């Protein structure tokens, strides 16, 4: 989860750097804060998944661990 950011051309604000829609915002258009907009559902689900799986790279770590256990 990151500090909320938005741009004028989108209807939502973002809280996750991995959000595909948030990644489309160019640096010059990115503004800090919520801008009076609704929260992005994709960011919400990404944040929940990352919390559940131990952070941003927790999902990858878990999958790698499972794969390693299967090979032994």
Q: Where are the domains of the chain?
A: 5-71
- The whole-angstrom separation of Cα 8 and Cα 32 is 11
Q: Which two tokens stand for residue 59?
A: 């999902």
Q: What is the pLDDT of residue 36?
A: 97
Q: What is the pLDDT of residue 67?
A: 62
Q: What is the pLDDT along the chain (72 residues), one digit of tens a residue?
A: 889 999 999 999 999 999 999 999 999 999 999 999 999 999 999 999 888 776 666 666 666 776 666 655
């Amino acid at each position: 989860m990151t500090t909320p950011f938005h741009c004028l051309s989108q209807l939502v604000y973002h809280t996750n750097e991995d959000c595909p829609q948030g990644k489309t915002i160019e640096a010059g258009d990115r503004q800090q804060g919520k801008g009076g907009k609704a929260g992005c559902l994709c960011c919400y689900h990404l944040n929940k998944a990352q919390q559940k799986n131990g952070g941003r790279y927790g999902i990858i770590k878990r999958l790698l661990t499972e794969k390693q256990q299967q090979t032994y």
